[in-house]
Chains A and B, each alone.
Chain A
Amino acid sequence: MSFRLRNDAEKWFNEIEGELGLKFDIYYFCLMAGLAAVRRSPLTAADKPAFVDDFPGDYKVQQNLLLGGLIDAELRSQLGRGIGNADRPIVQKVVSQLLTASGASTHLSSGPEGGATRMNEYASGGFDVLFEQIPDKPRRLETFLRSYAKVIGDLESERQKAEDACAA
């Protein structure tokens, strides 16, 4: 199992899909929103199976950064903070849980706790965020890119504020 997209996400993006060129673009926009908001939600059996098995096109170059982002998000979610000196075992555990060297070419492990499922959940959670933050479905790429960048920026400052409040 590799990258899966929610049916409603695919539908929401359908007017700019032609301009995007890659279906993975939709997945990526959702994923980055999910990682920025640290939000996950499960897919259901009603959602379509994997639409692509590997990072396509330009994204192959970004593969390692996205994997790193997933590990970072997962560690933050489990530790509730940055990594400390005593966290070596948990880092090893998370890394071996999410990644596989010998399995898929994505290096994402399979199974219900594996990296592929986890990444799909962040993409799914990210779509929820986009749907909440952007009132109209995207109709033109040039408009969407700008509103999307703004949403990511807003999510970041929100997270920052929340973390500052926690730290204070």
Chain B
Amino acid sequence: MVQVRLLGWKAAGLRCPDHEIDLTRAGGEPHHVSLIQMPNGTGKTTTLELLRAALSGPSAWPDSVMLGEYAPRGATGRGTFEVRLRVDKRRFTIEMALDFDEGKPYYRTTWTSSVARFTRPPSLSRVLTPEFTPFFIFDGEMAQDLLDPKKTRARQALEVQFQLSNLLRFQGYLDEYWDEKSRNVSAKGDKGLTQRKNKLADLTKRRDRLKVERTGLVKKITDLEARHTKLDAEYKARFDQDSKAQEEREHLEKEFERAKDNLATIATSSLSEARKPQNLSPRFTRGLQALRDNLDRLKLPESAAKEFFDELAHDAHCVCGEEMTEARKASILARRQNYLGKEDMGVLNAIKGAIKDMAGASPESYREAFEANLLRLRNAVRERDVAQNELASLEQRRLAGGDAELSTLKTQLDDLVRELDTARTRLSVLDMDDDGDQGDDTDSIKALAKKIKRAGDLVAEATQTRDIRLKTTILKRVISAAVTSASERIAQELVAATNKRLEGILTRSPLRVADICDSVVLDGQTRGSPGQTLALGYAFLLGLFDAGQVSLPFVVDSPTGALDKNVRREIAELLPKISQQLVAFTTSSEYEQFVPVLDRAAQGDVQYLTMFRLNDATRPLLDGLASESVALSANGALVSSKQFFQGFDSEAYGESQPARAA
């Protein structure tokens, strides 16, 4: 069990008077009970809250507005609050500085060494948190709150102490993780995956169907071509039965082939000529020639290159013979900008040379030669067309001769050619390249292949996303189930431990806890006496600390608060019994029926401290006090004396509570 003791604290430049509290006895051990009496308005609540914040670390300060509330009236700069603890045998110090100008808290902790941040001993990492400090630094209402079914203090305490709150936070992280992973994914649910799968299946089905069609088409085309060859041969054989027609056909076909070859040759040569820009456009050629002339006129490329000026500028002396100055150097380098680099000059010279060599003649001459070429091309086209027409008319004449079989063969041949054309056209559609803008109903097998790949990727993505969804859901379910069952078991153990402790404390009329749900639930009766309630609250918290293997001090504001005087007595007897160290803030109104009983119960190990603001009304109180029992600060006084404590009427020196910023 880790023993944690509060040794004292020090406040300066804050809303409460500057003060330093030392809770230790001569040997360095803290008193069993320390009572700190303060008039209202001295900053009792503020001190308690600062203590809690210092022990909780920077996350206790959600915003700068809240921080500003701890500044002394009208003050800026920094306030500091230092807490000294003992953890087992070692000192642990927390310094908290509140910068009111920046609105930021600064922490420095000293454990193994002094570091400028909030570093807790690992054994206290769950205890020194904003969630948990309210369970050992609290006001008189705390015990009541633990029993209040409308509040969930008991559950909170349990969740923090047993890390169930961490498990619940894991669930939050799982949600955040899922959000992040699915942020850029369009299909998040099962529905999206199904849609994507369907699309992939549709595309694949379509592609497979088209592939089957293509195989059929290729075979069909091969068959048709074979039939065509055969039928064409039959047709020609029949055609050639007229020997004169045969002679003419052979001649014309030869002529047609020659014309086609001629056209192909001329077309190739025309293309080759067209690739020379000077042939296409006299204007272009004229432009080139003018460019060359103008470059010459402008002396471009110049005889000097950029590099020449670099050399000049870096010489020890200027070309004029004078010494090289920064101004001269700058002036030379500025001129450099107007010149081309050596290599650029080379390119420009090559261009000029090419214009002279390849396009130096009269611009029109190139185009004229090209026109002549195009004219030859036109003639070759005509020649081919003529040959084709003559062949067609020979066929017409032969068919008109009344050979029925020839006509039939011709009709069959024409049908076959049409069929072949249709099949070839369809094949070209299936073999079409993917130009990227086809829809899902495209007949291009290549385009479909790409679409299938893309759809497959999307399915994989959606599958992965769905798996993350499923797995995070399963994990959240595991965590929820574990939290529920762990809560139940822990609650049972805590109930047993609390009841055992209560038996020891409330010997006369023991109170029993039945269950711990959101709040502590009593056995049988719904309410105990205020004293019983307080005892129960403390017993519950101690059980909680025990389970966490840590013994903590209790720091309580007005432990008996608004309670009846009879009850105070009961509580005063109880408090020293249930706590290893108790620090209580009180006012004189709580004194009666409380302090003397407490003193007795703690067997005299009680420290009496009285703190008040220094002003004209309180200054006379210091008269006649032994100087060693008084500690003065700029705005406050702390008196350590049982006698002074007993005689002090805190209500007489109370101040109205200064208004706080909302």
Contact = CB atoms under 8 A, between A and B. Distances in A.
Q: Do A and B contact each other directly (Cβ–Cβ < 8 Å)?
A: yes
Contacts of A95: 300, 340, 344, 348
B347 A28 contact: no
A65 B288 contact: yes
A32 interface: yes
B175 to A, nearest CB: 37
Contacts of B270: 142, 145
Given A7-B436, A88-B300, A92-B300, A58 B288 contact: no
Given A92-B339, A145-B374, A58 B284 contact: no
A65 B355 contact: yes
Nearest to A76: B287
B392 interface: no
A141 B32 CA distance: 109
Contacts of B453: none
A129 interface: no
Contacts of A141: 267, 271
A101 interface: yes
Contacts of B338: 88-89, 92
Given A7-B435, A67-B351, A100-B344, A88 B280 contact: no
B463 interface: no
Given A96-B344, A145-B377, A83 B294 contact: yes
Interface residues of A, number: 53
Interface string B256-282: 000000010011001110111110111
Contact of A146 (B275, B297, B358, B374): B374
Interface in B223-282: 263, 266-267, 270-272, 274-278, 280-282
A101 B349 CA distance: 12
A7 B339 CA distance: 40
B543 to A, nearest CB: 69
B359 A149 contact: no
B283 A69 contact: no
Contact of A32 (B277, B341, B378): B277
B115 interface: no
Contacts, number: 138
A101 B377 contact: no
A101 B341 contact: yes
Interface string A135-156: 0000001110110110010001
Contacts of B346: 101
A107 interface: yes
B298 to A, nearest CB: 5
B370 interface: yes
Contact of A25 (B271, B295, B351, B378): B271
Contact of B354 (A28, A68, A92): A68
A58 B281 contact: no
Interface in B337-388: 338-341, 343-344, 346-348, 350-351, 353-355, 358-359, 370-371, 374, 377-378, 380-381
Nearest to A71: B291
Contacts of B359: 65
B288 A91 contact: no
B283 A160 contact: yes
Given A68-B291, A92-B340, A101-B346, A85 B297 contact: yes
Given A7-B436, A146-B378, A156-B282, A65 B298 contact: no
Contacts of B266: 142
B344 A99 contact: yes
Contacts of A63: 354
Interface SS majority for chain B = helix
Contacts of B460: none
A130 interface: no
B475 interface: no
B267 A32 contact: no
B343 A101 contact: yes
A72 B281 contact: no
Given A72-B288, A83-B290, A64 B351 contact: yes
Contact of A69 (B284, B343, B344): B284
Interface in A98-137: 99-102, 107
A72 B291 contact: yes
Nearest to A101: B343
Nearest to B436: A7
Nearest to B350: A64
A82 interface: yes
B61 to A, nearest CB: 50
B351 A62 contact: no
Nearest to A58: B275
A142 B381 contact: yes
Nearest to B378: A146
Contacts of B282: 156
A53 interface: no
Nearest to A107: B347
B355 A28 contact: no
Nearest to B291: A72
From A11, A32, A46, A87, name the one whose CB has the most chain B CB atoms within 10 angstroms. Answer: A32
Interface in B282-313: 282-284, 287-288, 290-292, 294-295, 297-298, 300
A75 B348 CA distance: 15
A20 interface: yes
A21 B281 CA distance: 22
A43 interface: no
A123 to B, nearest CB: 13
Given A65-B359, A87-B298, A160-B283, 11 more contacts: A35-B284, A65-B358, A83-B291, A85-B298, A88-B300, A89-B338, A91-B294, A99-B348, A101-B346, A156-B281, A156-B283
Interface of B: 263, 266-267, 270-272, 274-278, 280-284, 287-288, 290-292, 294-295, 297-298, 300, 338-341, 343-344, 346-348, 350-351, 353-355, 358-359, 370-371, 374, 377-378, 380-381, 435-436
15 contacts: A25-B275, A58-B272, A61-B358, A62-B275, A64-B350, A64-B351, A64-B353, A65-B277, A67-B347, A68-B354, A91-B300, A92-B300, A145-B274, A146-B374, A149-B280
Interface of A: 7, 11, 19-21, 25, 28, 32, 35-36, 46, 58-59, 61-69, 71-73, 75-76, 82-83, 85, 87-89, 91-92, 95-96, 99-102, 107, 141-143, 145-146, 148-149, 152, 156, 159-160
The 7 closest A-B pairs by CB, nearest first: A101-B343, A64-B354, A83-B294, A72-B287, A156-B283, A64-B351, A88-B298
